[in-house]
Amino acid sequence: MTEFDSAVEKRRAQLEAEAWANKVRSIHAHSMDSMWYDTRPQDTENGKKVIDVEYNSGLIKREFADNDFVYLGTELKGEELLQSYSQNN
């Protein structure tokens, strides 16, 4: 049975990393157009406010006052996600 130990351990780590990726890293309510990840400065023109929810996966969900939203950033997957998970846990 020990021949499968490494495969089982790797799958366990993947499942843990996927669960960790969906957790919130930070929440930022603002009206700034100079965020390092911001590719949509028009969202905050003329003092419009947004809420940016950053997840451990690297995705950022930008929520608007009208309950609409967009995603910014790049989602980590596979080995990149496992590496980020192991560095942060």
Query: How far is Cα 43 from Cα 40, in angstroms, rounded to an integer?
Result: 6
Pairing of strands 24-30, 69-72: unpaired
Which residues 6+ apart lie within 8 Å of 89 measured at CB? 20
Quick check: 40 pLDDT over 90?
yes
Round the average pLDDT of the chain to a whole number and report it: 93
pLDDT at 16: 96
Give the pLDDT confidence score for residue 2 in this predicted structure: 73
Give the model's pLDDT for residue 1.
Answer: 57
Q: What is the pLDDT of residue 4?
A: 81
Mean pLDDT of 14-33: 96
Are the C-beta atoms of residues 12 and 28 closer than 8 Å to each other?
A: no
Domain spans of the chain?
2-88
